[in-house]
Amino acid sequence: MMEVASRSIESTAQARVKECLVEAHAFRRRLALLSRTNWITIVAPALLSAFAGAAIFEASEANVLGAQWKVWSGGAALLSALLVAVHKGRNCDFYQAESRRLVQEFEGLATRYRSLLQIEVAEPQQRLEELELRLAMVRETAAIDYPASYRADAEKSVDAALQAAAA
């Protein structure tokens, strides 16, 4: 009976290691996309605002862009405002912070499940139950998700990594 319970703990922990690594990989991919778009919705508006703010040149003797200066600076200010509105409207800061949190949570859980497999622990069944509760809590509190295509990609990457580690 003890051997059956031990195999059940081992198979559950192995499945959870993979599951947590897949989740972490998918959220990391989502975070990478968000980080790149951050350049568009944060850095670009700052640069455009600086450009629009340089309208002071229009009032001076400098003729940087000729008669079109007002149009260019006005367009830069408008585009800057639109990009900031998109960033705020889509709640990008929260989404990035939540992606980071979930990557850390799932990677931490994968490590804990792996340690259940690799080292002797007192009360392994109790430890597994604690980890299962933690995993459930992470899933319940996750305020974001990722596209299904990210999961398929993550599963392929994790499978390849696990096979390479086993070899």
Q: What is the DSSP code string of 2-68?
A: HHHHHHHHHHHHHHHHHHHHHHHHHHHHHHHHHHHHHIIIIIHHHHHHHHHHTTHHHHSS--SSGGG
Give the pLDDT confidence score for residue 89 in this predicted structure: 73
Cα–Cα dist 131/113, whole Å: 7
Q: Is the dihedral of CA 138, 139, 142, 147 positive or negative?
A: positive
Q: Is 16 exposed, middle or buried (0-12, 13-18, 19+ CB in 10 A)?
A: buried
Least confident of 23-32, 59-68, 149-158: 59-68
Mean pLDDT of 112-128: 91
Q: Which residue has the higher pLDDT, 1 or 68?
A: 68
Domain assignment present for 7: no
Q: Which domain holds residue 63?
A: 14-160
Give the pLDDT confidence score for residue 2 in this predicted structure: 47
Domain assignment present for 68: yes
pLDDT at 122 over 60: yes
Which band of pLDDT confidence, cut at 50, 70 and 90, is reported for residue 54? low
Q: Which residue has the higher pLDDT, 70 or 162?
A: 162
Which band of pLDDT confidence, cut at 50, 70 and 90, is reported for residue 93? confident
Element of type H or E holding 81: helix 69-89
Count structural domains, the chain. 1
Mean pLDDT of 38-63: 70
Domain assignment present for 5: no
